[in-house]
Amino acid sequence: MSPLPLGQVWVYLAASPLLHLFATLIAFVIASRINRWAGGTPLLHPVILSIALLIAFLLLTHTDYPTYFAGAQFLHFLLGPATVALAIPLFDQRERVRRLLWPVCAGTLAGVATAVVSAVGISLVLGADHATVLSLAPKSVTSPIAMGIAEKIGGIPSLTAGLVLLTGVIGCIIGPWVLRLGRVTDPAIRGFSMGLAAHGFGTAYCFSTYGAIAGAFSGLAMGLSGLVTAFVLPPLVQLFGL
């Protein structure tokens, strides 16, 4: 048997899901290494870096997104069970929530309302496109839930996913500054605010910077805001006919 020419090997590999699944994992490993070298700065977050690496790879190899997604969908699929799994940290925090029930409820409602109204309001004032506005509405929510909401209300799920990631990075950069300006010192409140505004990125930041209590409350805020937004936003959009 004679060996296949390299061009044909590439054609075969590019068509199979293996290549792009593998590329996604490798990109994430490389991105995590680079982030560690850079001292864990949120500006070079592993997710943002992996996405940039993969987009560069697709552009270089002239691969379109559907071909890439045929491989990467196996990872994407796990977002569903991962969303369900958010019930576990929520369950773990039930005692703490009971103690701080009133501030947590008010903080969730105020935060979710502010996040949605400010995103929709500012983008409408600045003259954003209709689909862009709808894709921005759930941007503070953790992405599996945000993408589900975007799909339901007529936004663009993949655009929402990107905006959610950017929100996370921006939240980690300006969050500590806003909290200092507002003289917020309680770790539970710091964590909760970060989780509400910057979902999983805020949670990861809190665990590493503000400690375990802030991290736990951040995870709680991420779950609660996701839940409240998922219940409230789609009917609201229908109501206002956006």
Partner 1 sequence: MSLIIGMSILLGCQFLGEVLSLALSLPIPGPVIGMLILLVGLVIRGSVPTSLRSTGEGLLKYLTLLFVPAGVGLIEHVGLIRQEFWILLVTLVLSAAVTLWVTSQVMQRLAQRNDKSQEEEA
Phi first, then psi, for residue 226 (nearest 5°) are -60, -45
Instruction: Pick from 19, 42, 155, 171 the residue near partner 1 by CB under 8 A.
Output: 171
Q: Is 58 in the site for partner 1 (CB under 8 A)?
A: yes
The residue behind tokens 């910077």 is 209
Task: Report residue 138 CA to chain centroid gap.
Answer: 10
Instruction: Pick from 106, 208, 211, 212 the residue near partner 1 by CB under 8 A.
Output: 106
Least CB distance from residue 94 to partner 1, whole Å? Answer: 7
Instruction: Pick from 8, 16, 41, 114 the residue near partner 1 by CB under 8 A.
Output: 114
Q: What is the DSSP string of 103-170?
A: HHHHHHHHHHHHHHHHHHHHHHHTT--HHHHHHHTTTTS-HHHHHHHHHHHT--HHHHHHHHHHHHHH
The structure tokens listed for 32 are 């995590």
Q: Which of residues 2-21 bind partner 1 (CB under 8 A)?
A: none
Smaller CB distance to partner 1: residue 9 or 33?
33
Stretch that binds partner 1, among 9-17, 36-44, 88-96, 206-214 (CB under 8 A): 88-96
Q: Is 73 in the site for partner 1 (CB under 8 A)?
A: yes
Q: Is 224 in the site for partner 1 (CB under 8 A)?
A: no
CA distances from 197 to 54, 66, 151, 192, 218 (A): 27, 31, 21, 9, 10
Instruction: Pick from 204, 214, 220, 224 the residue near partner 1 by CB under 8 A.
Output: 204
Q: Is 157 in the site for partner 1 (CB under 8 A)?
A: yes
Q: Is 239 in the site for partner 1 (CB under 8 A)?
A: no
